[in-house]
Amino acid sequence: MKGVAMLEITFAKPVLPEGGVLVVPVGEGLELSGLAMALDEALGGGLKRALEAAGFKGKAGSSATLLAPGSYKRVLALGAGKPGEARGAETLGGAVSAALGKEEAVSVLADGVNAEEAAALALGLRLRAYRFDKYRTTLKDDEKPKLAKVAVLTSAPKEAAAAYERLSAVAKGVELTRDLVTEPANVLFPAEFAERCEKLKKLGVKVEVMGQTELDELGFGTLLAVSQGSAHEPKMVVMQWLGDPAHEDKKAKKPVAPIALIGKGVCFDSGGISIKPAAGMEDMKWDMAGAGAVTGAMAALAGRKARVDVVGLIGLVENMPSGTATRPGDVVKSYSGQTVEILNTDAEGRLVLADVLHYANTRFAPRLMVDLATLTGAIIVGLGHEYAGLFANDDELAAKLALAGEAVGEKLWRMPLVKKGQSYDKELNSPIADVKNIGGGRAGGSITAAQFLQRFVGETKWAHLDIAGVAWAGKDSATAPKGATGFGVRLLDEFVKGFEG
């Protein structure tokens, strides 16, 4: 059971509670006002004296706890930092969850911020409260999360609640993605993933699932080359959210060009015949994080009734070694008609995306395409775990994505992408096929992977996000516990907002 499942967040008028657990955000300089000042007066100046005695300065990330002051069980002062800090309220909310997860009910004195910031505080609190305890059967009571109710006390409760309603839909999308990415591969194989996508129908998303037979008939040669070593049948899921206001005009004849989101969904990646080392292979259950992000984004957009048309396509496979697996050196024909020499079966994600990208382009004629994939280890060598790699054939698209990522704290760093036949791209020329699936060596591996994908997008505006370094975290962050981050959901939601009617 996820610890976030029972968390109830409400917004109420700024009236100082008579007791319980209080959170007091305090900015640098210890200037108390509003409810914080009222609390200090109720404690006979005890709040400010305690903070000064603890050396608390209000710096972002700092905290001080007062146990049993007056009629309260606990008062937690959290440093709010300087006014205007990027995502300060959201970070503050995450700190509340991290510090008070074992309390059952908490009141947050948020009368010093506006409605949008109060909603952002609630979002950060919820995202940081996420837990995945589904398979943990021996947890002791003191190890389980207890936080069930949070009251955010704000001067504009109705406005804050309205702002949070949209953010709550996005949070659900992030939680869905984290669930998918965290599930073990023996549970979340392609058919099960597709079944979970079908649940989005309840939100108004049109969902189609294609299996082995349909993909064979379409000629998805590169995707099927990845899946043919596995006992699990591949799937492609097409999810459509039709929210553009143009659909309300029954006489309109011009079709609406959707935004296309494409995700790599390798539910487990052994490397195939080019098998990976045993150490760390368990991490390859989350090689479907790109597909997870697209699914979560579709849930978020439908949940908040985004006024734009978006189609999400994910290719779901398992890459396994067996007597039927693709061999290094095999040549296959892609859905686009291009032939591909597969020199390394562990460079499989690009093979999955090649067919899905071309299908998205030819079927939907989208205004633009964005794909997300845990595509290369090389991007981690280049960017570590702070940024995802951004490759794009259009400067304006790249800029919009980067700005969206900056706004929500899911950062992108643009990497080189050249035209066909130039520098990096020439490394993909095969002596016996139209293209080979790896470059000439280890250098620039994330770039040559993106160059491969570019051969399947035509002239459509397109961006590729290599999220291998940011889909999973080895330590807690401000708004995510260690594990699946849900990276990409908030970025895509923020990006799509710029196209809404």
Return the structure tokens found at 226. 């990845």
In 338-461, beta strands by DSSP E: 339-342, 368-373, 388-392, 412-414, 435-436
CA distance 127 to 487: 12
Q: What sign does the CA torsion over 242, 245, 248, 250 have?
A: negative
Residue 60's Cβ-side half-sphere holds a number of Cα atoms within 13 Å equal to 15
Q: Which entry of 276, 333, 367, 414 is annotated as an active-site residue? A: 276
CA distance 351 to 315: 10
CA distance 55 to 279: 45
- Quote the Cα angle for 209-211-216, to 5°: 130
Q: Which entry of 350, 400, 436, 455 is annotated as an active-site residue? A: 350
For the chain, count helices (H), then strands (E). Answer: 15, 19
**What backbone torsions phi and psi does residue 442 show, to the nearest 5 degrees?**
-75, -25
**How many beta carbons lie within 10 A of that of residue 356, not counting itself?**
29
Q: Is 350 a catalytic residue?
A: yes
Distances (CA, A) of 476 to 178, 288, 385, 388, 430: 14, 21, 13, 18, 44
Contact 466, 389 (CB under 8 A): yes
Give the H or E element holding residue 386: none
Q: Is 276 a catalytic residue?
A: yes
CA distance 47 to 45: 6
CA distance 358 to 424: 21
Contact 338, 435 (CB under 8 A): yes
Contact 379, 389 (CB under 8 A): yes
CA–centroid distance for 272 within its chain: 27
* Helix/strand/coil for 358: helix
Contact 482, 474 (CB under 8 A): yes
CA–centroid distance for 118 within its chain: 22
SS3 for 190-250 is HHHHHHHHHHHHHHCCEEEEECHHHHHHHCCHHHHHHHCCCCCCCEEEEEEEECCHHHHCC
Task: Please choose, from the candidates 343, 332, 48, 16, the residue with its C-alpha nearest in 3D space to the C-alpha of residue 151.
Answer: 16
Question: Known catalytic residues?
Answer: 276, 350
